[in-house]
Structure 1
C-alpha cells in the first residue's frame, strides 16, 4: 500500500480510458487528475520547486510567485504548504471561484488581474504584474512556467516514459498546449529516441501559441494570448485547434457516460477525435491523448447552464446525450 509524507509523492500514472465504448474512437485517454492537486500540473510544480531549491534561488523569507489560470496555481499552493513557503498566485477573471477558494484554503494569496492584453487575453497583463512584483523586492521568486525548462523536463522524465512503457507500439500522441510544458517534454522524449510517433498538439481557437488569430476565450487551461518561450515547433508534427463550443460539448458528452473532466480534457478529446477521423478513417491506430485534469472545479462554469447562457448565449451546449449499451 502507498504510504506518503508529502502530497506530491502520490500520483496515479498508469490509468487509461478506452474511449471506443464512449465515443466510438480508437483512443486511449491517459488520466492525470488523480493526485492531491487534481491535475498533471503537480509534476511540473514539484520539478520547478525542486530545481529552484537546488539552485539556491529559494532562501529563508522567499515568496514563490507564479502566473496561472488555475491548475498550476493549485499544485504550487500544495507544494508551498508542504514545504512552508508563502505563495502568491497571479490569475485572471477566467479562473473559477472554486479554484481560487482551494488555493486560499491552502494558504496561498490569490491576486486577480482584470486588465486584458492586446490579444484579448490576460496572460501578458499577468506576467507584467509578476515582473513588477519581483522588481519591487528580491524576496519574490518567479518560477516562470512559460520559460522554465523544468516544466517540460518533468514530463520528459515521468509522463512520456510512462506512456512508452504502456504503449510500445504507439502511433499517435495528442497533447494539449498551454504553457506547452507537457507537450514539449513528451515530444522531445519520443523524437530523441527516434520513435515513429506522430505528435499532435491540441490548442484552443483564439490562442496565439501556434500563430493563430487572437480571439476572446473564457475556458481556462489550454491556449495562450502570449506565445510561451518553451515552444519548439520542430518537435511537433501537427496542430489541431478546437473551438470552445466543441470543448464544452465534448465535456458534456463524456459526463453523460460517467466521466466528468475539465475543459482542457474536453479540448484534447475533441481535437483528437476529429483528427483521427480525418487522418485514419475506418482504421484503428494506437493513439493516446493526455487528460490533464478532472471536472469538479468546473461545475460552476462549463457544467452550469447559467454560465453557458451568459458566455455563449445558447443552451444547446447542454444537449442531453443519450446512448444505448452494447448488446
Structure 2
C-alpha cells in the first residue's frame, strides 16, 4: 500500500538496517536514521520538542523559535518550523557545512554563524552566548534548549530504543554517538529499564568534553561538545569510546567505497564500534550501531580532498585515503 503524507515530519524510515559484515569483516548492524526529509535522526527530537511546546500552550502560529546547532538539528528544526508555520532562528558556527546552512535558509530560517570559539566552551559555548544575547534583544523568541530539553531524549525512549529491541531481541551491545546525548540518553534509559543486559556504549570524538576528556580542536560537526549537555547521565552508559577525526574520515571513505554514503557522525560511530569489537575480539556478539546521518551534507568537507588536505595536511590525507 502506498504511503501518503501531508506533513514532512510524518515520514521516517524506522526499520532499515545495514549488515556491515561484508564491508568491515565484523558482525555489526547499522540502524539508518537518515531516511526522512531532514536527512538525520534529529527529526525525532525536533518534532518532539516542538510538539511538547505546543501541548503546553507555549507557542502559536507566527512565533519564533531559536536554537543552537552545529547542523543536523538546525536543519530538522528548520523543516519542522516551516511545516508548522513558525519562524526559526538558528545559531551555528563555522564548522557547519555549507549544505546544511543552505538547507536551513531554503526552509526560511534566519542563520547566524559564530566564527570564533569561546576560550573555555569552544564553539558551542560561543553559540550559547549568542543565543542569550539574541534572547535579550528579542524576548519574544522561544528557546527550545536541546541540551536540557527532555524532549530531546524522550523521543528516542519512545521510538528508537523499542524499535531496535524489536528488531534484535538478542541484542548484546548498542553503539550510539554522543552529541547533545539525546539519542544516547533515550536509548540508554529504555534499555536500562527494559533490557538491562544490553551493554550501551557511547561513541565520542577526541577533543570533546562530554565525558570529562580534555577539550581539543574538532572540525567535523555533529558529535562531541565543548560544554557538557545537561541531559547527560553518565551512569546510564556502560562504556565510552573516543574516535579521532582522521579515523572518522577513514571510515566514511571506507563505507563510501562499498557504496554507502554516510555522514561524519555515522563514520565516527562505526569507527568506534569497530574498534570496541576488535579490541575485545567478540565476533559472536549481536551488535547494533545507530547511524545518525547521511553523507550528502558532507560532500564539501569529509568527502572533499582539498578540504581534507587543508584541515589535516596532505601527508595525513594520503594515509587517510590509502585503500
Ranges in structure 1 where 5+ consecutive residues have no aligned partner? 322-327
- 1:8 paired to 2:9: yes
Deviation at 1:192? 1.0
1: CA distance, partners of 2:235 / 2:282: 29
2: CA distance, partners of 1:115 / 1:273: 34
Equivalent pair of 2:61/2:84 in contact (CA under 8 Å)? no
Deviation at 1:115? 2.2
Tell me which residue corresponds to 2:240. 239
Deviation at 1:283? 2.5
Tell me which residue corresponds to 2:313. 313
- CA RMSD across the alignment: 1.1
1: CA distance, partners of 2:319 / 2:266: 16
- 1:160 paired to 2:161: yes
SS state of the match for residue 122, structure 2?
Answer: coil
2: CA distance, partners of 1:128 / 1:200: 31
- 1:66 paired to 2:80: no
Equivalent pair of 1:119/1:215 in contact (CA under 8 Å)? no
Normalising by structure 2, we get a TM-score of 0.97
Deviation at 1:134? 1.4
Equivalent pair of 2:121/2:227 in contact (CA under 8 Å)? no
Count of residue correspondences = 320
- 1:66-124 CA-to-partner distances (Å, cap 9, x unmatched) read 00000010000101111111100100000011110111011111100112112472001
Equivalent pair of 1:120/1:215 in contact (CA under 8 Å)? no
Deviation at 1:204? 0.2
* 1:1-327 paired onto structure 2 within 5 Å: 1-119=2-120, 121-279=122-280, 281=281, 283-314=283-314, 315-317=317-319, 319-321=321-323
Equivalent pair of 1:121/1:217 in contact (CA under 8 Å)? no
Normalising by structure 1, we get a TM-score of 0.96
Deviation at 1:132? 1.7
2: CA distance, partners of 1:290 / 1:118: 32
Equivalent pair of 1:42/1:72 in contact (CA under 8 Å)? yes
